[in-house]
């Protein structure tokens, strides 16, 4: 028995494209879930990261918390939240937001911290206000690293979002859990392939975005590995 | 006119950077703060545009206490040039120069036209206007920094070791450019350096500082060289080592000036053969060595002392 051929056959079976469990629906659900989680995590992590990066305050706490967040097993958290709020979308959104916060937070504040202090000092000395320094200097110069954080977070969410189907009827994870229950490995593998394709697509989009937001004039020689700064600070 | 009245600055970590400092910096003259690291010279400079606020005492500009002025507004009226240019890396040269005028509401088109003229003023080719700072040499970046400092046509120009990071030949060029600019524009320049020769070259008034922002001596370069106030000043300007006492030596190629340590210091203007002059001096400095005691003029380009800042 060739699982891979069966999976491909499953992917191209027209009956899998109709009804509430249609592949198209599940892909859109998965994508929507991923993007909304990204928004939740960004709303929390970006302002916090900018504040830490701009003021230099609370960095130790942020590094510690983000590190702790990274080590939380998502399935465990998902189960824990689901046990207290019940079956539904709240638990997966909460669990995956927690998963996505550390890379975005790290991207946001390392983006600010990677900026040459002398550049900011000079901007202040020529008469830029604090708000102007954030908007016209720190923000544009930090975008590449922030985008790196968003990219990393997106990949983690899109892959882990399959877990959402554990407690809710949503996303490509449905195929995995249904397939597992029915011993339908073609469906499981087909679902996995869809998740991988979606991840590759998003990765491609972010690669382009990340190139676009690097200001010309600083395109060369800037660090893009957000965790390099993170582990250095954590030490 | 800038006046320091009993200014003291103690940083939060307890460092006493400046203690009871009082001085008048005359308008349209260049005042140079010179001293080693920890002498408080940069702190003094940064207090003039409120990048640092004094712990006690006050600073007046043209009679107005700057402690009562809003820092952002004050800074926009004062030119500031720093060591590594401090240009915004994501903005083109022309936009860097036009930054502050545009913050003040000058229309973009006008600000850019003015910026182009400023590039002329500081001796930069207009073709560089659309480059990014990282595409310029260190000397060019410093010129852009000066152009930005002049962009709001300030009365006061603060310069924090602006030529410290460029090589000696470019530094000599930039120093001459600054002297030319100052002749043309007549700004009140406050200049910080650790290089006594640079201080003597550029300063109308030179302030030699000891650790803790204490004034060791204030005066014109000639006054300080002729009459060092104490051993510290004598050591600082090099008088104690005979560095300032030059004598003439005759060689087969011509006559050269040599200091007490035997180091080549330069040549007498008009008193030697062209070949010897070309060998001991750079082109920019030939015109600027009119007298024997002109150590600072002659030596920054002298090959024998290229690596020695003092």
Residue B141, chain A, CB below 8 Å: the answer is: no
| CATH class as words, domain A3-234 | mainly alpha
Share of residues in chain B with pLDDT > 90 (%)? 64
pLDDT band at B20 (very low <50, low <70, confident <90, very high): very high
pLDDT at B230 over 50: yes
> What single-letter DSSP state applies at residue B5?
E
Chain-chain contact of A125 with B72 (C-beta, under 8 angstroms): no
Strand partners, B21: B7
Strand partners, B78: B156
Q: Domain extents for chain A?
A: 3-234
Chain-chain contact of B86 with A216 (C-beta, under 8 angstroms): no
pLDDT at B281 over 70: no
Smallest Cα–Cα separation from A121: which of B144, B166, B84, B162?
A: B84
- From the candidates A117, A118, A120, A127, which should be mutated to test the interface with B, based on the most B CB atoms within 10 A? A127
**Residue B5 dihedral angles phi and psi, to the nearest 5°:** -115, 105
Task: Calculate the CA dihedral of residues B247, B295, B35, B4 and round it to 10 degrees.
Answer: 120
Q: What is the ipTM of this complex?
A: 0.76
Query: Which residues of A fall within a CB distance of 8 Å from B87?
Result: 119, 122
| CATH class as words, domain B2-232 | alpha beta
**In B246-282, which ranges are continuous DSSP H helix?**
274-280
**CA–CA gap between residue B81 and residue B161 (Å, rounded):** 8
Q: For residue A198, give both structure tokens.
A: 């979606």
Which pLDDT score, from 0 to 100, does residue B71 have? 94
Strand partners, B214: B210
Q: Domain extents for chain B?
A: 2-232, 247-305
What tens digit of pLDDT does each residue of A141-163 get? 999 899 999 999 999 999 999 99
Q: Which B-chain residues 47-66 have CB contacts (< 8 A) with chain A?
A: 49, 51
Higher pLDDT, B142 or B278: B142
A–B interface: beta-carbon pairs under 8 A? 71
- From the candidates B74, B76, B88, which should be mutated to test the interface with A, based on the most A CB atoms within 10 A? B88
Are B93 and B132 contacting, i.e. CB atoms less than 8 angstroms apart?
yes
Sequence-ordered list of residues with C-beta below 8 angstroms from that of B85, at least 6 positions apart, any chain:
A122, B133, B138, B141, B142, B144, B145
Are B266 and B299 contacting, i.e. CB atoms less than 8 angstroms apart?
yes
Q: Which B-chain residues 81-110 have CB contacts (< 8 A) with chain A?
A: 82-92, 99-100, 103
pLDDT band at B309 (very low <50, low <70, confident <90, very high): very low
Chain-chain contact of A126 with B87 (C-beta, under 8 angstroms): no
Chain-chain contact of A216 with B135 (C-beta, under 8 angstroms): no
What tens digit of pLDDT does each residue of B159-170 get? 999 998 888 898
- From the candidates B90, B104, B106, B157, which should be mutated to test the interface with A, based on the most A CB atoms within 10 A? B90
pLDDT band at B74 (very low <50, low <70, confident <90, very high): very high
pLDDT band at B241 (very low <50, low <70, confident <90, very high): low
Q: Is A201 left (phi over 0), alpha (psi -120 to 50) or beta?
A: alpha
Chain-chain contact of A127 with B135 (C-beta, under 8 angstroms): no
Chain-chain contact of B80 with A122 (C-beta, under 8 angstroms): yes
Query: Which residues of A fall within a CB distance of 8 Å from B90?
Result: 140-141, 215-218
pLDDT band at B36 (very low <50, low <70, confident <90, very high): confident
Chain-chain contact of A217 with B99 (C-beta, under 8 angstroms): no
Positions of chain A with pLDDT lower than 70, given as ranges: 1, 219-235
Distance from CA of A132 to the nearest CA of B (A): 9
């Amino acid at each position: 028995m060739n699982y891979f051929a069966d999976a491909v056959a499953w992917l191209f079976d027209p009956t899998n494209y109709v009804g509430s469990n249609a592949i198209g629906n599940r892909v859109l659900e998965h994508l929507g879930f991923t993007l909304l989680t990204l928004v939740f995590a960004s709303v929390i992590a970006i302002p916090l990261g900018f504040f830490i990066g701009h003021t230099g305050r609370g960095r130790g706490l942020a590094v510690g918390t983000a590190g702790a967040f990274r080590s939380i097993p998502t399935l465990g958290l998902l189960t824990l939240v689901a046990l207290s709020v019940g079956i539904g979308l709240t638990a997966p959104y909460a669990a995956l937001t927690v998963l996505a916060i550390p890379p975005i937070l790290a991207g946001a504040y390392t983006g600010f911290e990677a900026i040459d202090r002398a550049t900011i000092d000079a901007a202040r000395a020529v008469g830029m206000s604090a708000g102007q320094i954030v908007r016209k200097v720190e923000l544009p110069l930090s975008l590449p690293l922030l985008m790196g954080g968003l990219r990393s977070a997106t990949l983690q969410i899109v892959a882990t979002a399959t877990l959402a189907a554990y407690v809710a009827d949503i996303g490509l994870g449905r195929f995995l859990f249904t397939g597992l229950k029915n011993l339908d490995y073609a469906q499981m593998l087909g679902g996995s392939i869809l998740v991988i394709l979606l991840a590759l697509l998003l990765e491609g989009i972010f690669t382009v975005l990340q190139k676009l937001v690097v200001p010309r004039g600083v395109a060369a020689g800037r660090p893009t590995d957000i965790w390099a700064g993170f582990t250095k600070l954590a030490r | 006119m800038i006046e320091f009245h009993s200014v003291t600055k103690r940083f939060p970590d307890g460092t006493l950077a400046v203690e009871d400092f009082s001085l008048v910096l005359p308008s349209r003259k260049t005042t140079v703060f010179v001293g080693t690291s920890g002498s408080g010279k940069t702190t003094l400079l940064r207090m003039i545009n409120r990048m640092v606020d004094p712990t006690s005492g006050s600073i007046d500009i043209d009679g107005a206490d700057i402690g009562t002025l809003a820092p952002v507004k004050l800074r926009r009226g004062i030119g500031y040039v720093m060591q590594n240019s401090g240009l915004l890396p994501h903005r083109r040269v022309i936009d860097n120069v036009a930054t502050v005028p545009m913050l003040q509401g000058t229309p973009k088109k006008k600000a850019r036209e003015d910026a182009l003229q400023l590039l002329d003023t500081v001796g930069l080719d207009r073709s560089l206007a659309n480059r990014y700072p990282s595409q310029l040499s260190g000397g060019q970046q410093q010129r852009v920094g000066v152009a930005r400092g002049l962009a709001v046509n300030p009365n006061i120009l603060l310069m924090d070791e602006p030529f410290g990071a460029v090589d000696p030949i470019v530094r000599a060029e930039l120093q001459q450019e600054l002297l030319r600019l100052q002749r043309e524009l007549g700004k009140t320049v406050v200049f910080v350096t650790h290089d006594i020769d640079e201080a003597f070259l550029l300063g109308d008034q030179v302030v030699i500082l000891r650790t803790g922002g204490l004034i060791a001596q204030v005066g014109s370069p000639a006054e300080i060289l002729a009459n060092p106030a104490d051993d510290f000043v004598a050591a600082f300007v090099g008088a104690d080592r005979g560095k300032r006492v030059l004598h003439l030596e005759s060689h087969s190629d011509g006559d050269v000036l040599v200091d007490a340590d035997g180091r080549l210091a330069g040549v007498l203007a008009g008193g030697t053969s062209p070949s010897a002059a070309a060998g001991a001096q750079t082109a920019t400095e030939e015109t600027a060595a009119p007298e024997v005691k002109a150590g600072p003029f002659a030596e920054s380009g002298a090959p024998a002392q290229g690596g020695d800042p003092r």
